[in-house]
A and B are shown apart, each in its own frame.
Chain A
Amino acid sequence: MAISRIEDTVKGLVLTIQDYSLFAWRAFMNLYSEPRYWADYLIQADIIGVGSTAIVLLSGFFTGGVLALQSAATLSQFGATAVTGQFVSITMIRELGPVLSGIMVAGRNASSMASELGSMVVTEQIDAMRALGVDPMRKLVTPRIFACISMLFFLTIVADAFGIVGGGAVTVFLNHQNGTQYFSKAWESLRYPDIIQGLVKPLFSGYIIASVGCFYGLRTTGGTEGVGRSTIQAVVNSSVLIILVDFLLTRVLLAFFPPI
């Protein structure tokens, strides 16, 4: 009994991974053939990009602030509070900016994609679209994936910038340290490999968020309860996948750009 349950679970997991891989590949390859729905891309870019700016900006600002608060307490034991700017900028740009903005955007957009597409499935709107001769993968999924990739790239830059500003605000107003020293250290310590590492990650995270959100949305079964279940699965799986892929990417990128 227990063995057959484990077997069913493993089979289900393998089948889901297989279905997701085929789904994600097809959605990506749709960009290379007609028809392309550029208007839908722009609408999604507005929803994902402009709509997520506030949460990414705020989370970036306060994460930078917390980093400055925590690091200053530790660094002061070694008399190294002058490097707070370096610590905040490198941590934000290489790691926290991409991961945090990815998770914030996943929470906001993977859930909305899953619930929107899930509702369309249970009300037969997806079938209606197919019956009208329109491919839902091209019309709904591909524009969301490319909008999410491109917008998360810029949102990460926003999170990085406001993280450094947040760290600066804490350094100046709470830690009563020199702001010029903070910002000059933050700037001087940055190298191109740091920036490349930080800006490669959102390309993968954006792809994960939209493809997982749409995948679970289009697999919805079981009415409104099923929509809720799909939304939870989309947020949980995309968040976990973002952190997992971030770990793997960091490992690979550190091999290409070893720390000095």
Chain B
Amino acid sequence: MSSPIPSAGPDPARPDPALLGAQTTTEPVPVVAFRNVSIAFAGPPVLKDITFSLAPGETRILLGPAGVGKSVLLKLCNGLLWPDRGSIQLFGQDITSMHERDLFPLRTRIGMVFQEGALFDSLTVRDNVAYQLIQEKVADEEIDVRVREALTFVGLERTFAMFPSSLSGGMRRRVAIARALINHPDFLLYDSPTGGLDPVTSTTIIELIIKQRDVHHTPSILVTHRLQDAFTLCSHRYDIEQGRMVPLPKGQTDQTTTFMMLDEGRLVFSGSLHDLIHSENPFVQEFIE
């Protein structure tokens, strides 16, 4: 299918002309940029006047209590929802004015992990993970190799021929991560990947996210209401030689990992872990306590 969407990823050498007025030419094009975005369903607004941008290679942790609009914000990032007001630039293109059919090619560059995994229950793990490759008519032999690679990455190579119904919640979440990663996305969206899981499984999944961040440097937004997961992401790095995540030296944090916090549909905080801990905003203080 032909597409008007350029195939290259965010390229610092090709800044979006639409953004030139707002930034210097030396700054890289944000992976995603929200400007005064608001959205409401039946009832009061879910998100109000949200403005932020995500730089290439950055991991943004979106914090906030349940029902505050975190998942809605994530779905706005790849055009699964349209805002009522404001604009969203994805890879330098304004997706708020795009037709759904023009968004499909753009979405193939984004990996998304849904809250409950959202695996296709009538398909095997192999077909779930390979879903995008099957649509692109990739050869079966290549699909098998890439699916096994992706499943090995999440430590589930034995589930290749199983159906999602026979997997545990944590395994389904890891299969969803494998599905999101198989096409080497330029941008990742994680919607509460550890929600409702036991601490051991949560740590396994956080380790996978750190591995993707430190090995492939994929920019991402991670929604969570678990501060422990957020702090683990900031305080650990992935050691390729040891094949596991290790703590950063005391006092150091991952500089590419930053935070945002929502309260009643508004963005009340945006900054580093240091800024978060020392924030004077009463809501932020209450949340991190």
Contacts and interface: CB of A to CB of B under 8 A. Distances in A.
Interface in A122-136: 123-125, 127-135
A133 B108 contact: yes
Given A128-B114, A128-B120, A129-B131, 6 more contacts: A123-B116, A124-B116, A127-B80, A127-B114, A128-B119, A131-B78
A188 interface: no
Interface of B: 1, 75, 78, 80, 100-101, 104-105, 107-108, 110, 112, 114-116, 118-121, 131-132, 135, 179
A129 B119 CA distance: 9
27 contacts: A34-B1, A35-B135, A124-B114, A124-B116, A124-B118, A125-B118, A125-B120, A127-B75, A127-B118, A128-B112, A128-B114, A128-B120, A129-B131, A130-B80, A130-B107, A131-B78, A131-B107, A131-B110, A131-B112, A132-B107, A132-B132, A133-B107, A133-B108, A133-B132, A134-B104, A134-B132, A135-B101
B131 A132 contact: yes
A129 B112 CA distance: 10
Contacts of A124: 114-116, 118
Contacts of B107: 130-133
A183 to B, nearest CB: 45
Interface residues of A, number: 14
Nearest to A37: B135
Contacts of B100: 135
A32 B196 CA distance: 45
Nearest to B189: A131
A115 to B, nearest CB: 13
Contacts of A135: 100-101, 104
B286 to A, nearest CB: 31
A130 to B, nearest CB: 6
